[in-house]
Each structure stands twice: as structure tokens, then as C-alpha cells.
């Protein structure tokens, strides 16, 4: 995917032209991966562009920063507003939003404390993460030979840039073997998550997903799917999941802001269920896409509509 550039990127409170949104090569983040970030989708609805769970993303960004002792100069309200302004000024009807806070330019000792914490927010159109057909047909995935980060090494609950070195190993290995994505086990051998997605299984009609203790990111789509399932009367179980439970599941799917709800048709070349999106996956997709596309009432208050942006002329 090459970038589909938009006009402005928000940097520390200023709208900067896309091509000029740069940082110094000696910024701490470039050397030590000291960043925390978010990824959020904005959907086109009959009422205009709408962010999916805006406040939850801003809060998770602040939580990630807290874990890494990064003092943030912006509140959740201010981050929400900056995101809305960036979508608005770029006149986007639907897009992906990438806020990233990072240790900037000051010194290159490992201790990040002297370095400023900068925040940027970029928005651009982004299609279906695992391919246009994936949402219907499902993807073929493998269990990675790489484990997810161990609990006492790097905090998985923080959405930190450095965690994605582990994700890159998982993703590249899967692609090099001809799979669309890799599933990592945690260091104890239980199923954790995909390189950029949480994971669900359907087993005897119940929905099963790994707990936070399995080195997963607390996904916002994961939380939404749990809520939708519970309200549909489906039993949801958060528990340790052995690898072989994937093979025996009736259905398996990924969730994520980028991946949305993507069915998994094969794991390690073993066909899951009938090898197509199963009935529970399809029911959850229907409920999810109905809300995000503004087709059914947003009874959970998950959407924030993007107000028309008033261009200020000096
Ligand atoms: N796990 C990882 C490692 C991820 O990168 C993501 C994407 N942010 C997810 C899970 C899903 O989280 P969310 O639903 O909040 O996008």
C-alpha cells in the first residue's frame, strides 16, 4: 500500500503540509522505538464522517503513555478535538487515523526523560487491511514460530511502537510462507493474538477469546465484539486458549480497527469449520458494520460525527 496522501498532518497543535511533516533523524524515537500510537477508522455514514470509539482511542493512547512514563501535554478531550480537526481540514469522508506520541529531539541517552514528548496525528484513506475479499472469504493464517512479547519484558497492554518489531517478525514470516497473517502464542504456549489483531473462536456455540494475561493488546474492536455478542445472547468466555483449539473451532476470526472483523478460513492449512465465514462471524459482522456505517441505531454511542471544518483565514 502506498500512501494516499492528504493535505495536512497535525503536529503539536499545528497543521503542517503532508510533505513537510518531518522530525529530526536524531530524535530518540528513531533510535529506541520510544513511541505510543493509535489506529482508528472513520466511516462514511448518511450523517457524514463518523469516528468509531474516538474517546476510547484517545484514552488508550494516554494509558500507553502512562505505562511508559511519557508526560503528555494533551488531555483526552484535546486529542479528540485535534483528531476531529485533522479529519475535517482534510475533507475526508472515511479514513484511517494515526495519532503517534514519541520522544523527540534532545539527547540520545537511553533515558528518554530529557526528550520532549511530541504528538502528531495523520489521516489518510485506507482500504481493507487483509484484502478486499478477506471480509467475506476469510484468510489463511499460520501459527508463528515467534512468540508474543513476554509479560515481564515489554508491556503488551501499551500500544507502543517498539512492540511492533515483534509484530513485524510475525507478519513477515507468515507472508514469506504464503499466509496472510500470523498468530502468535504467548511465552507459555497459549494463543495470544495476530500481529495486529485480536482473535476469537467459536466453540460449541460460545465465543472464546484469550484473556489480557495472554500478552494481548486490549483491543477496542475486541471489546465492541464482546458487547455485541453478549447483547445477542451469545456466551462469551475469556480464557487461556491452547493452539489446537484453533483447529477444532467451528469458526475463528480476527478483530481490529484495521482488520475490522475478518474471518479465518484456515490455520496452518487446516480448514476451520466449513472454510468460509461462519454464521456467528457473519452475525457479528452485520451488527458491527450496521453501526459503523450508520445503518442501524448507534445504541452504544460508539460514533462521533466529524463536524464541518471551518477554515480559519488569517
Ligand atoms: N492487537 C494488536 C497487536 C494490534 O496492533 C491491534 C490493532 N490496534 C489489535 C490487537 C486490535 O486492537 P483495536 O481493535 O483496538 O484496533
CATH code where residue 53 lies: 3.30.470.10
182 lines ligand 1 (CB under 6 A): no
Better-scored residue on pLDDT, 129 or 210: 210
Mutate to test the pocket of ligand 1, among 217, 220, 222 (most ligand atoms within 8 A of CB): 217
8-state DSSP, 196: S
Output the domain CATH number for residue 252: 3.20.10.10
3 in a domain, yes or no?
Answer: no
198 lines ligand 1 (CB under 6 A): yes
Q: Among this protein's residues, is 159 annotated catalytic?
A: yes
171 in a domain, yes or no?
Answer: yes
**Band of the pLDDT at 1, cuts 50, 70, 90?**
low
Cβ atoms of residues 62 and 55 within 8 Å: no
Report the separation in Å between the CA atom of 195 and the middle of ligand 1, taken as the mean of its atom positions: 8
Which whole number is the average pLDDT over 125-136?
Answer: 86
Question: What digits encode the pLDDT tens for the residues 193-206?
Answer: 999 999 999 999 99
Q: Which of 124, 144, 174 is the last residue of a domain?
A: 124
Residue 52, pLDDT score: 98
Cβ atoms of residues 125 and 94 within 8 Å: yes
C-alpha cell at 178: 504464503
105 in a domain, yes or no?
Answer: yes
129 in a domain, yes or no?
Answer: no
**Band of the pLDDT at 102, cuts 50, 70, 90?**
very high
8-state DSSP, 215: T
Residue 312, pLDDT score: 61
Report the separation in Å between the CA atom of 183 and the middle of ligand 1, taken as the mean of its atom positions: 13
217 lines ligand 1 (CB under 6 A): yes
Cβ atoms of residues 137 and 265 within 8 Å: yes
100 in a domain, yes or no?
Answer: yes
Mutate to test the pocket of ligand 1, among 254, 257, 261 (most ligand atoms within 8 A of CB): 257
Statement: residue 151 has pLDDT above 90: yes
222 lines ligand 1 (CB under 6 A): yes
Please state, in angstroms and rounded to a whole number, the distance separating the CA atoms of residues 256 and 197.
Answer: 5
pTM of the predicted model, to two decimals? 0.97
Report the separation in Å between the CA atom of 176 and the middle of ligand 1, taken as the mean of its atom positions: 22
Same domain for 19 and 107, yes or no, is: yes
Pure H helices in the chain:
28-32, 54-67, 76-89, 134-137, 163-176, 220-231, 243-248, 279-292
Q: What percent of the chain has pLDDT over 90?
A: 94
Please state, in angstroms and rounded to a whole number, the distance separating the CA atoms of residues 138 and 147.
Answer: 23
Q: How far is CA 308 from the centre of its chain?
A: 26
Please state, in angstroms and rounded to a whole number, the distance separating the CA atoms of residues 281 and 201.
Answer: 9
Catalytic residue among 5, 22, 159, 286: 159
What residue owns the CA closest to ligand 1's atom 12? 219
What contacts 25, CB < 8 A, 6 or more positions away?
none
Same domain for 171 and 273, yes or no, is: yes
255 lines ligand 1 (CB under 6 A): yes
C-alpha cell at 92: 475526508
What contacts 289, CB < 8 A, 6 or more positions away?
260, 295
Please state whether 262 falls in left (phi above 0), alpha (psi between -120 and 50) or beta: beta
Structural domain count of the chain: 2
Q: Which of 66, 90, 124 is the last residue of a domain?
A: 124
138 forms beta bridges with none
Domain of 94 in residue numbering reads as 8-124
Same domain for 113 and 219, yes or no, is: no
Same domain for 88 and 216, yes or no, is: no
Same domain for 196 and 267, yes or no, is: yes
Residue 310, pLDDT score: 77
Strand, helix or coil for residue 121: strand
C-alpha cell at 54: 474516538
Residue 51, pLDDT score: 98
197 lines ligand 1 (CB under 6 A): yes
Report the separation in Å between the CA atom of 219 and the middle of ligand 1, taken as the mean of its atom positions: 5
Closest listed residue to residue 305, CA positions, set 27, 52, 2: 52
Question: What digits encode the pLDDT tens for the residues 171-181?
Answer: 999 999 999 99
Same domain for 57 and 150, yes or no, is: no
Tell me what the pLDDT averaged over the chain comes to.
96
299 in a domain, yes or no?
Answer: no
Lowest-confidence pick of 132-136, 203-207, 216-220, 280-284: 132-136
Statement: residue 314 has pLDDT above 60: no
Report the separation in Å between the CA atom of 310 and the middle of ligand 1, taken as the mean of its atom positions: 33
What residue owns the CA closest to ligand 1's atom 7? 196
205 in a domain, yes or no?
Answer: yes
297 in a domain, yes or no?
Answer: no
Residue 119, pLDDT score: 98
Same domain for 115 and 236, yes or no, is: no
Which whole number is the average pLDDT over 3-14?
Answer: 96
Please state, in angstroms and rounded to a whole number, the distance separating the CA atoms of residues 11 and 17.
Answer: 10
Same domain for 114 and 153, yes or no, is: no
Amino acid at each position: 500500500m502506498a500512501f494516499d496522501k492528504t493535505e495536512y498532518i497535525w503536529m503539536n497543535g499545528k497543521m503542517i503540509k503532508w510533505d513537510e511533516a518531518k522530525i529530526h533523524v536524531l530524535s530518540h524515537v528513531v533510535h529506541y522505538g520510544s513511541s505510543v500510537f493509535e489506529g482508528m477508522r472513520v466511516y462514511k455514514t448518511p450523517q457524514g464522517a463518523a469516528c468509531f470509539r474516538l474517546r476510547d482511542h484517545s484514552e488508550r493512547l494516554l494509558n500507553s503513555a502512562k505505562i511508559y512514563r511519557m508526560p503528555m501535554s494533551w488531555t483526552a478531550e484535546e486529542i479528540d478535538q485535534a483528531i476531529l480537526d485533522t479529519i475535517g481540514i482534510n475533507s475526508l469522508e472515511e479514513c484511517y487515523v494515526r495519532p503517534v506520541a514519541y520522544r523527540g529531539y534532545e539527547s540520545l541517552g537511553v533515558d528518554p526523560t530529557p526528550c520532549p514528548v511530541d504528538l502528531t496525528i495523520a489521516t489518510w484513506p485506507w482500504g481493507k487491511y487483509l484484502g478486499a475479499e478477506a471480509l467475506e472469504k476469510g484468510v489463511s493464517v499460520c501459527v508463528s514460530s515467534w512468540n508474543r512479547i513476554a509479560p515481564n519484558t515489554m508491556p503488551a497492554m501499551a500500544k507502543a511502537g517498539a512492540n511492533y518489531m515483534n509484530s513485524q517478525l510475525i507478519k513477515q514470516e507468515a507472508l514469506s510462507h504464503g499466509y496472510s497473517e500470523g498468530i502468535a502464542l504467548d511465552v507459555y504456549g497459549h494463543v495470544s493474538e495476530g500481529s495486529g489483531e485480536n482473535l476469537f473462536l467459536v466453540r460449541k456455540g460460545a465465543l472464546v477469546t484469550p484473556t489480557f494475561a495472554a500478552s494481548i493488546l486490549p483491543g477496542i474492536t475486541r471489546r465492541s465484539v464482546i458487547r455485541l455478542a453478549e447483547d445477542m445472547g451469545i456466551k462469551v468466555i475469556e480464557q487461556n486458549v491452547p493452539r489446537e483449539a484453533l483447529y477444532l473451532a467451528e469458526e475463528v476470526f480476527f478483530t481490529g480497527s484495521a482488520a475490522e472483523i475478518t474471518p479465518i478460513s484456515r490455520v496452518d492449512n487446516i480448514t476451520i469449520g466449513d472454510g468460509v465465514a461462519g454464521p456467528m462471524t457473519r452475525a457479528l459482522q452485520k451488527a458491527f458494520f450496521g453501526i459503523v456505517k450508520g445503518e442501524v441505531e448507534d445504541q452504544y454511542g460508539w460514533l462521533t460525527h466529524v463536524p464541518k471544518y471551518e477554515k480559519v483565514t488569517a
